[in-house]
């Protein structure tokens, strides 16, 4: 067999993750169910796009002049980050959560080093969440310096600093809260989000450099 003969690629398939998030404080089970269904759509679309792109590549259709190939490729980042950021978001939450990271934790130290104090970081993070428009607020860690920074991400795939680790991911698209709150009550949702943060999950990547999100 010719070693240079075209191979048919079999695309990888991502699995929808499950999250046990019953009984959160201020974020209803119905809201979480609806949001998880939306997340499942992203996983499905990632798999569909990967399969279609692999098939087109296998048929020799990977061309800059092929409009379908270009459209699917341009859309891949949106679907991937829609999947990944939602997995981070749901992983960040748990029932009966502590109100803040414990004062002696590495996370508290890292937040204080980067923002002056945990309280100052929280005020900045929540202020970004209250900005007009829909998107994400993400606390990232730069693995090269260990510095932490807050970022606003409008579309899933735009504005994400390459190689940085997402530590805390807050979804402020309206679908994340409008079953429980009015469009004008985003502040109440942000307060509720902060009552349900699993600080140990946020701390893991700070303490364990190789820690990643749940594998899809």
**Sites of contact with Fe ion (CB under 5 A):** 171, 173, 176
Distance CA 79, CA 49 (A): 9
For Fe ion, give the closer residue by CB, 25 or 34: 34
- Beta strand 136-141 with 165-171 is antiparallel
Beta strands 148-153 and 165-171, pairing class: unpaired
Neighbours of 51 (CB within 10 A): 15
Minimum CB separation of residue 3 from Fe ion in Å reads: 45
Q: Least distance to Fe ion from the beta carbon of 195, Å?
A: 18
Q: Which residue's structure tokens are 């209250």?
A: 130
SS3 (DSSP) at 131: coil
Give, in degrees to the nearest 5, the angle at Cα 199 between 143 and 181.
110
Q: Least distance in Å: CB of 40 to Fe ion? A: 12
Instruction: Name which of 35 and 204 has its Cβ closer to Fe ion.
Output: 35
Point out the residue whose Cβ comes nearest to Fe ion: 171
For 16: left if phi > 0, alpha if psi spans -120 to 50, otherwise beta; the answer is beta
Comparing CB distances to Fe ion, the nearer of 100 and 188 is: 188
Q: Which is nearer to Fe ion, 73 or 216 (CB)?
A: 216
Closest distance of CB 171 from Fe ion, Å: 4
**At its nearest, how many Å lie between Fe ion and the CB of residue 155?**
12
Q: Which is nearer to Fe ion, 14 or 115 (CB)?
A: 14
């Amino acid at each position: 067999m010719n070693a240079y003969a075209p191979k048919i690629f079999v695309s990888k398939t991502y699995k929808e993750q499950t999250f046990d998030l019953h009984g959160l404080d201020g974020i209803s089970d119905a809201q979480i169910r609806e949001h998880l269904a939306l997340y499942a759509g992203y996983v499905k679309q990632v798999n569909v796009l990967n399969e279609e792109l692999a098939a087109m590549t296998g048929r020799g259709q990977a061309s800059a002049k092929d409009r379908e190939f270009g459209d699917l490729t341009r859309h891949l980042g949106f679907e991937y980050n829609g999947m990944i950021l939602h997995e981070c978001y749901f992983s960040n939450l748990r029932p009966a959560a502590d109100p803040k990271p414990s004062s002696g934790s590495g996370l508290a130290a890292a937040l204080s080093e980067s923002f002056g104090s945990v309280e100052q970081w929280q005020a900045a993070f929540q202020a970004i969440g209250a900005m007009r428009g829909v998107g994400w607020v993400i606390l990232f860690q730069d693995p090269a310096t260990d510095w932490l920074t807050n970022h606003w991400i409008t579309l899933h795939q735009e504005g994400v600093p390459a190689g940085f680790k997402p530590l805390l991911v807050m979804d402020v698209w309206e679908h994340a809260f409008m079953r429980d709150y009015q469009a004008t009550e985003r502040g109440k949702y942000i307060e509720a989000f902060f009552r349900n943060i699993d600080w140990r999950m946020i701390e893991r990547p700070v303490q364990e450099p190789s820690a990643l999100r749940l594998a899809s």
